[in-house]
Amino acid sequence: MKVMLYDTTLRDGAQTEGVSFSVADKIRIAEKLDELGIHFIEGGWPGANPKDMEFFKRIKKSKIKNSVITAFGSTRHPKSKASYDPVLRGLLAANTRVITIFGKSWDFHVKHVFKIPPDENLKMISDSVAYLKSKGRQVFYDAEHFFDGYKANPAYAKKTLAAAWEAGASTVILCDTNGGTVTSELFKIVEDVKAAFRGEIGIHCHNDSDMAVANSIAAVQAGATQVQGTINGLGERCGNANLISIIANLVLKLDMDCMSRINLKELTEVSRYVAEVCNMKQLDGQPFTGQSAFAHKAGVHINAILKNPKTYEHVDPQLVGNRRRILVSELTGKSGILQKIQELEIDLDKNAPKTKRLLKTLQDLEHKGYHFEAAEASLELFMQRSLKKFKDFFRFEDFRVIVEKQGKGIKSEAIIKLKVGKHLQHTAALGDGPINALDNALRKALKDFYPGLSGMHLTDFKVRVLDEKEGTAAKVRVLVQSQDKNDSWWTIGVSENIIEASWQALLDSVEYKLLKDSK
């Protein structure tokens, strides 16, 4: 069965708390969705704000090849003519081939929000669809609050659908706007609607009950041929149905015709790209495309995975552009350690004394507060050093940090002494804080020997107290994220002294960069 994908990230997704798309952001996302092969991209509500009008003007100059850009708005206002309605005129002004309008399907809203007779609401739907259709547009009708309306008054809810279809809507989309319908109930309602009408049905679910993806899949199984959602489940309140998970499930689990297997491999990249544009971290545990979606930590799991991935993976991660990750911790066991060693292209037997010592040392460090699954760069350095495979790029001698309070301001200065080969480097640098000063001084000491460090910068810095009972004397864990033009990596440090813990993580971040560049 052919299923059409309708993305509403640029409209519904823009209503996510903390998200604010610029016009350029919306263009970039639309182009990425077009490359992925999404059939319809809802650009926004023209006339509602200048930003959306600007988007519809600029998107015409973009090289959209695969997707149809749609404009979104409401039915005409009560007691007005469709031909004079400002919302409908704004939709036409966007000059899109497809227009999506929404109307009320729940008589509760008709009575208490619009405060109009039920028949007037039906006329609003039919007049609006017919007018847009007369202007040569293909019209999708979003039946807002349909499932709540159906449960309250099924006869009237169906009348709203009939009004849209009879006026010329090509597809009527059933919306679980409040996100409160359970899957079994939704399936039966979609089946009933499908049996009563011959027209094309779509589904639009919100995630307030954490069922949006399941409900969307169930609706398709019940006969819906268009499914709406947002990338990464963005949206107001608890978000919309996550189109990433919907696509993967439709293709890989139900063998539905909605996207090619080649394009499916771009899902992870698109998921992370949209998260980056939103300036929001992608959830590690997001199904299919999250960093932890195919991460394995427990020793029993890893042992089985290495024998046959099907034991603990429901799909091959490469099918959605993701990758398998073996996490190394005190729970890992020798199989996980051996797998990591093999990734480093080091030949070592599972039962070798070195492997056992490595595991014991790792478990001891985890007990002291290290968390290597969150800092894989530090883990690689640890293994290289433990197996005597690491080349020292420089030898650290000592450092001193001075923090001085001057009036309302505060100044930090770091002095570092280290050796690169036979060359002694003794440098000092200022910084916004002690860690920034250390970073500046370290780079200053190494820049002439390793110019590649100029392309690396720190992007995140996290501190966690490991034992709150110890108060200010507690041990702390510091995680540092670094990035260059090709990659990003995390390193770790643990100490009772926050500057020492930060220095460990900072030193690892620089040494990992040098190790990468030397390969």
For the domain that residue 108 is a member of, what is the CATH number?
3.20.20.70
Residue-level pLDDT at 29: 95
136 and 61 within one domain: yes
Residue 377 domain flag: no
| Assigned domain for 352 exists | yes
Same domain as 140, residue 38: yes
For residue 315, the surrounding DSSP H or E stretch is: none
Q: Which residues are paired to 368 by β-bridges? A: none
Whether residues 203 and 338 share a domain: the answer is no
pLDDT at 337: 62
End residue of a domain, out of 350, 368, 386: 368
Contact 302, 296 (CB under 8 A): yes
Q: Please state the length of the chain.
A: 519
Q: Over the Cα atoms of the chain, what is R_g?
A: 29
Domain assignment present for residue 412? The answer is: no
In a domain, 492, yes or no: no
The answer to the question of residue 189 being in a domain is yes
Assess contact for 33 and 254: CB atoms under 8 A. no
Last residue of a domain, one of 201, 232, 259: 259
In a domain, 57, yes or no: yes
Contact 252, 233 (CB under 8 A): no
**Residues 123 and 180 grouped into a single domain:** yes
CA–CA dist 227, 202 (Å, integer): 6
- Tally of structural domains, the chain: 2
* Residue indicated by tokens 């979609």: 190
Same domain, 208 and 345: no
241 and 327 assigned to the same domain:
no
pLDDT at position 136 = 97
Clarify whether residues 244 and 101 are in a common domain: yes
Pair 110, 192 in one domain: yes
How many other CB atoms are there within 10 angstroms of residue 112's CB atom? Answer: 9
Residue 158's pLDDT is 97
Closest CA to 165 of 204, 147, 139, 136: 139
**Residue 44 lies inside a defined structural domain of this protein:** yes
Q: Identify whether residues 219 and 326 lie together within a single domain.
A: no
Minimal CA–CA distance to 250: which of 241, 262, 259?
259
Query: Which residues does 21 contact at the CB level (< 8 Å), separation at least 6?
Result: 10, 14, 29, 51, 277, 278
- Specify if 443 maps to a domain: no
Is the same domain home to 186 and 85?
A: yes
- Tell me the β-bridge partners of 270: none
- Rounded to whole angstroms, the Cα distance separating 7 from 354 reads 53
What was the pLDDT predicted at 424? 93
Name residues of the chain where pLDDT drops below 70: 299, 328-350, 373, 467-473
Domain range for 328: 295-368
pTM (predicted TM-score): 0.73
User: Same domain, yes or no, for 206 and 318?
Assistant: no
Q: Identify whether residues 204 and 117 lie together within a single domain.
A: yes
